[in-house]
Structure 1
Amino acid sequence: MLFYRAVLSLSHQTLSYLSGLIHHRHTIGSLWRRLGPGRQAPLVLVHLRKGETLAEVAAGFGVGVSTAWRYIREAITLADEGYTGAGEHVRVPYKGRNKSASQKGANSAHARLRGPGERANAQLKAWRILRRLRCCPLRAGQLVKAILTLQLREVG
């Protein structure tokens, strides 16, 4: 296998955030890992952002495929726990003209809540792992929430 250096279009802040999540897992008594948090985070981000296969990522970071999968799964679970969703209720804006001041205020608040989600949906396209998912729907949902958490950390 041929190895190469590549650029990952993510900020250092995102890498630090994910490394911090992984490091926290280590400090609360998790099992020993071959790679430290500073090497696990790039492994996960390369897989999620570039869509490289587990075999490619594992070879690039000098670990086995099952180890790479375990690191990725752990990071997705950790980032998924950081996801702050709006809950199960779906809210819709008031329609029509001549809305009261309170309805206009509610619509404004709704737009502020909806805006980040719509931006996140547009930004999800940059994460190549989502282009051809080969996993169960539950894992896909966790993956999207984890990526959203990382993307929100990336932008701000």
Structure 2
Amino acid sequence: MRGLPVLADKGYTGAGAGVRVPVRRPGGGQVLDPSTRGWNTYVNAERAFVEHGIAHLKTRWRALARVTLCPWRISAIIATALMLSTWEGRY
């Protein structure tokens, strides 16, 4: 990812260096410290914008709902759909 950290959900725990996930709550009813809770809030808030955008693109552009292309190839298609969605909202 060109040296940039990637934000992911808890399902990607252990994915490796550079993948930032929220910290899981310890077992036994323990509470996370304020610093860790703040980190979890930040990661989840940032992911929410991306997930909302992807949901919008998938519902607006039905062809994107079942895409199985390589992520590098789909990027150009997503960028085009995003640009068209932006233009559509202006007029």
Q: CA deviation at 1:128?
A: 3.1
The gaps in structure 1 that reach 5 residues or longer are: 1-85
Give the length in aligned residue pairs: 68
RMSD value, Cα: 3.3
1:152–1:113 CA distance, 2 compared to 1 (3 A): farther
What is the alpha-carbon distance in structure 1 between the residues aligned to residue 32 and residue 83 of structure 2? 35
Task: Work out whether residues 120 and 152 of structure 1, in 8 Å CA contact, stay in contact via their aligned partners in 2.
Answer: no
Task: Work out whether residues 94 and 107 of structure 1, in 8 Å CA contact, stay in contact via their aligned partners in 2.
Answer: yes
1:143 to 77, 80, 89: 77
- Aligned residue identity for 2:34: A
- Between Structure 1 and Structure 2, which shows a larger proportion of helix residues? 1
2:57 to 124, 135, 153: 124
Task: Work out whether residues 124 and 147 of structure 1, in 8 Å CA contact, stay in contact via their aligned partners in 2.
Answer: yes
Moved over 6 A (4+): none
Greater relative contact order: 1 or 2 (C-alpha under 8 angstroms, separation 6 or more)?
1
1:95 to 21, 24, 28: 24
The gaps in structure 2 that reach 5 residues or longer are: 7-17
Larger Rg: 1
Task: Work out whether residues 5 and 20 of structure 2, in 8 Å CA contact, stay in contact via their aligned partners in 1.
Answer: no
